[in-house]
Structure 1
Amino acid sequence: MSKARRSNDWGFPRWRGYGSGREATNVRICDRHGCSDPGDCPAPKSPNSPERWYFCQKHAAEYNSGWDYFAGLDAEEAAQRESSERAQTAGYKESSHYGWAGSGDGTRTRDEMRALEVLGLDPDADFDAVKKSWRAKAKEVHPDVRPGDAEAAKAFQAYQVAYEVLRQAEERREWKG
């Protein structure tokens, strides 16, 4: 007679690996017509509705780009909702100062802080100061001014990357309003 083996699938902790079940995993497909990527980003079908579309990340970004959170509300109701939600989340905004970004007031990312260091600027410098510093430093090490100088070319590329990071951050801030 053969002895029955005891299963490893009992008690706590489960002795088999998580996700190693034999059953098929349900994957929801993106609700966008023609897309076969997993739809793991919920998006509301209409304002104040519990019904959701499920998009892939690319289509969720496309869908949300034109989303108006305050659709159907008059100006007074929209202002009231915005102020109540800001009051509820004010602690998060206030605590962003103590995040991982380091110096500054918490409104700049680590990459922006590094870019400001490359350009030799303070953490609270405005974009006009960034432009001015970038132009001055780029003129000194431009490949047309210093042809054949590898260090100057490397410094020029660093200034270009720093300026691009700060320019994109400024555009995002203007877009958010």
Structure 2
Amino acid sequence: MSRAGRSDNWGFPRWRGYEGARDTATIRLCDRHGCTDPGSCPAPKSPNSPERWMFCQRHAAEYNAGWDYFAGLDAEEAAQREADESRDNSGYRESAHYGWAGSGDGSRSRDEMRALDLLELEADADFEAIKKSYRAKAKLVHPDVRPGDDEAARAFQALQLAYEVLRAAEERREWKG
């Protein structure tokens, strides 16, 4: 016969789950009428007010879709607030100088990104778009089209190098995949 007050929790490791307490856990529900999902996303009730609604993710997204950050401000106040926030967040823009921020999802090397910039393409361009852009730009600066033009010859060599970098990267991806 076991005693009613005895616990099976003897310290670490725990033999029960962390939510295995006998008392009920308090979960705040979404403030949208009729929603039974947990309300874990705070949303302001009005501009510059500390009071918050607590919505589920779906209703928070719906609420924020129509939210105007500059509502209730005249043009001068809105411009001042935008300038203050731009000043406070300018470090993100500055970090691009050091190569910490940039376009792409991280799957391309820095050389590939430079080559794409030279071809004036987005970071997610496929190889068909790369070939098309290379051919169009190469036709403009090809030495046969512009004989004796040193600047066009340098531009053509840069385009060739960019294409070779991207072609080699594409071949590596196909070989791995």
**Quick one: which of 122, 126, 135 aligns to 2:129?**
135
Report the equivalent of 2:32: 32
Report the equivalent of 1:75: 75
Unaligned stretches of 5+ residues in structure 2: 133-169
- Structure 2 length-normalised TM: 0.51
SS in 2 for 1:125: helix
* Number of residue pairs matched by the alignment: 127
Question: What letter corresponds to residue 107 of structure 1 in structure 2?
Answer: G
SS in 2 for 1:31: coil
Give the whole-Å Cα distance in 1 for the aligned partners of 2:23 and 2:119: 55
Report the equivalent of 1:148: none
Q: Shift of residue 53 of structure 1?
A: 1.1
Question: What letter corresponds to residue 89 of structure 2 in structure 1?
Answer: T
SS in 1 for 2:101: coil
Q: Shift of residue 93 of structure 1?
A: 4.9
Unaligned stretches of 5+ residues in structure 1: 99-103, 139-154, 159-177
- Kept after mapping to 1: 8 A contact 2:37/2:56: yes
Offset from partner CA, 1:43-65 (integer Å, 9 cap, x none): 11111111111111111111111
Report the equivalent of 1:142: none
Offset from partner CA, 1:88-142 (integer Å, 9 cap, x none): 33335545777xxxxx5513353xx42x56xx6537639952468543559xxxx
Percent of aligned positions that are identical: 52
Please tell me the root mean square deviation across aligned C-alpha atoms, in Å.
4.2
- Kept after mapping to 2: 8 A contact 1:97/1:107: no
